[in-house]
Amino acid sequence: MEDWSIKELSSLLREKKTSSVEITTDYLQHIKKKNPEINAFITVDENRSLAQAKLADLKIQKGEGDVLTGVPIAQKDIFCAEDWLTTCGSKMLHNFIAPYDATVVKKFNEVGAVNIGKTNMDEFAMGSSNETSYFGGVKNPWDLTRVPGGSSGGSAAAIAARMCPGATATDTGGSIRQPASLCGLTGLKPTYGLVSRYGMIAFASSLDQAGPMAKSSEDCAMMMNVMAGFDPKDSTSIDHKKEDYTKNIDQPIEGLKIGLPKEYFADGLDSHVAKVIESAIDQYKKLGATIVDVSLPNTNLSIPVYYVLAPAEASSNLSRYDGVRYGHRTSQYDDLMDMYCKTRQEGFGEEVKRRILIGTYVLSAGYYDAYYLKAQQIRHLISEDFKKAFQSCDLIMGPTAPSTAFKANEKIDDPVTMYLQDIYTIATNLAGLPGMSIPAGFVNKLPVGIQIIGNYFDEARMLNVAHQFQKVTDWHKAIPEGALS
C-alpha cells in the first residue's frame, strides 16, 4: 500500500496518472487486509464505493472534476448516508439504513469524493477510547494493545493504518482532537456552526461539531473546503463567508503570538508529554512566533460543566430511540411501557445509559438550577476566559490529551478517570471555539499531539500555522509499523 496524502491523490487523479477505481480498489483491498485486526470500519460496501469511483472517473475524464473528485474519504458512522447502514456505534441502530444524506456526506458526494466506508466510534460518540462501540473496540495501529482514543477512534485508526487518506469525524468534548493526538494525525474541530450538523446523529447538540481528520494540515484544509458552509437546514449553522482554507496555508507565521495557558501545563499532564509540547513550542519560536503566558482559570471546571450539559442534552436527544419508527425493538414485551424500557435497556450500552441517567437526573425537578443552570453560567465564565486570553495572543497552544494512548480496558471501568482524558479539549467545545491537534512527537513510540486553539472562525490561520510546523517537522509523516504491508 502506498502512503498517499489527499493532496497527492488529488494531483494524481487530475493528471490522470491513476484512476479513482484503481485507488479505491487499493484502499478496499487494504481495508480487507487490515480491518479485521484494527476494527476501524463498521461498514464497508465495495460495490457502492466502486460505483462512486466509476462516476468520479467519468467526471474527471469529462474535465468536470473537483479537487476531491475520486478521492476516497471515510465517513464516521455518526453521519447518515443514504442507503448505508448508519449505526452511530450502537445496537439501537444496528439495523438502521439511513434514508437520507447528512449535509456533510452530501457535500462530499457532490464533489465526487468516494465514500470508502463508515468508521467505528464510541456509541453515540460517548467515550474517549472507542471501547463503548457495540461493534467492538478499535485498536490503535501504533500499538494494538492500546486504544485509538475516541469517540472518532475508527476514523483515526483507519487513517493511521492507511486504510484511507482522510475521514470525517465529530467532536463534542475532544472526539476529533484526542484520537488525532493518540494516533499521530491532524484533526480539526471547527468553530461551532461552521460545519452543518444536519444528518449528523446528535449527542449534545450545543457542543457537537464535525471536522476533518487526515495526516496533514494541508489535507485537512482541502477537506474543510468541502465540509464548511452555511446550511439552512441547521438553525445553528452560521452564515459565514465561504473561505478557501488552502489559500494562505503557505504564509510565513513570523510575528505570531502564541498564548500558553498555565493551567494546561499543571498537575495531571504526563511529564514526557509536556516535554514534547515544549519542544514543539520551541520549534514555533524558531519559525518566528512569540510566546505569551495566558490564563484560563476555569479550566478545571470544564469537566464538571461538560458532564452536566452534555448528558442533559443527550438524555433528551436519545429519547427518540423508542423502538417505534426505526432501529432496535425488543422482541418480547408485555405492554408499551415494557416495550420502551426493554428496548432502551437492550439497545443502549452501559456508558450511554449512564449518561442518559445523569442527564435525566440533572434536569429533573428540583435539581435544574443547582446543576443545569449553574453549569450554563460557568460555561459563560469559561467562554469569557478565552475572550480575555485572546486579547493578548493570536492562538493558544498546549497539549491535546494528558497522556499518550492508554491500554485497552485500562480506564473503561472508571468513568471519572476516562472523562479526565478530555480536560484540555472540552473547554473549546463549551466556548464554541475551533481546536486542532497536530502530531508533535513521540513518547515511548506513541504519538503525542499539540493542540492549537483559535478564535472564532480562525480556522484558516490555524491550518496555516499547523502547516508551517509540518513543513519543518516529520512527525506527521511517521507511519505505524506494518501499516503499509
Edge-to-edge strand ranges of the sheet holding 395-399: 41-43, 114-119, 72-76, 166-171, 209-214, 186-189, 435-443, 446-453, 395-399, 257-261, 290-294
User: 216: which 3 cell numbers?
Assistant: 496533514
DSSP notation for 248-308: TTTS--TT-EEEEEGGGGSTTS-HHHHHHHHHHHHHHHHTT-EEEEE--TTGGGHHHHHHH
What x/- string results for residues 101 through 130 when contact with other proteins is judged by CB under 8 A? -x----------------------------
Contact 130, 137 (CB under 8 A): yes
Among 241, 325, 474, 485, binds other proteins (CB under 8 A): 325
DSSP notation for 124-139: GG--SSSTT-TT----
Q: Is 247 one of the catalytic residues?
A: no
Among 29, 61, 319, 392, binds other proteins (CB under 8 A): 319
Q: Within 10 A of 376 (CB to CB), how many other CB atoms are there?
A: 15
What x/- string results for residues 436 through 465 when contact with other proteins is judged by CB under 8 A? --------------------x---------
For other proteins, give the closer residue by CB, 180 or 200: 200
- How many chain residues touch other proteins (CB under 8 A)? 99
Residue 200's DSSP bridge partners are 79
Does residue 224 sit in helix, strand or coil?
helix
Contact 197, 448 (CB under 8 A): no
Cα distances (angstroms) measured from residue 285 to each of 2, 278, 475: 34, 11, 18
> Cβ of residue 195: shortest distance to other proteins, in angstroms?
13
Residue 335 binds other proteins, judged by CB under 8 A: yes
For other proteins, give the closer residue by CB, 20 or 429: 429
Among 38, 201, 258, 460, binds other proteins (CB under 8 A): 201
Residue 434 binds other proteins, judged by CB under 8 A: no
Residues 66-95 that bind other proteins (CB under 8 A): 79-80, 86, 88, 93, 95
Q: Is 151 one of the catalytic residues?
A: yes
Amino acid letter, residue 35: N
128, 152, 155, 175: the catalytic one is 175
Contact 138, 118 (CB under 8 A): no
In this chain, which stretch among 38-46, 283-291, 325-333, 474-482 interacts with other proteins, using CB under 8 A? 325-333
Q: Is 76 one of the catalytic residues?
A: yes
Residue appearing with cell numbers 484533526: 187
> Cβ of residue 354: shortest distance to other proteins, in angstroms?
6
Residues 267-306 that bind other proteins (CB under 8 A): 298, 300-301, 303-305
For other proteins, give the closer residue by CB, 100 or 279: 100
Residue 362 binds other proteins, judged by CB under 8 A: yes
- What distance in Å separates the CA atoms of residue 261 and residue 360, rounded to the nearest whole number? 34
> Cβ of residue 93: shortest distance to other proteins, in angstroms?
7
Residue 266 binds other proteins, judged by CB under 8 A: no
Residues with a catalytic annotation lie at 76, 151, 175
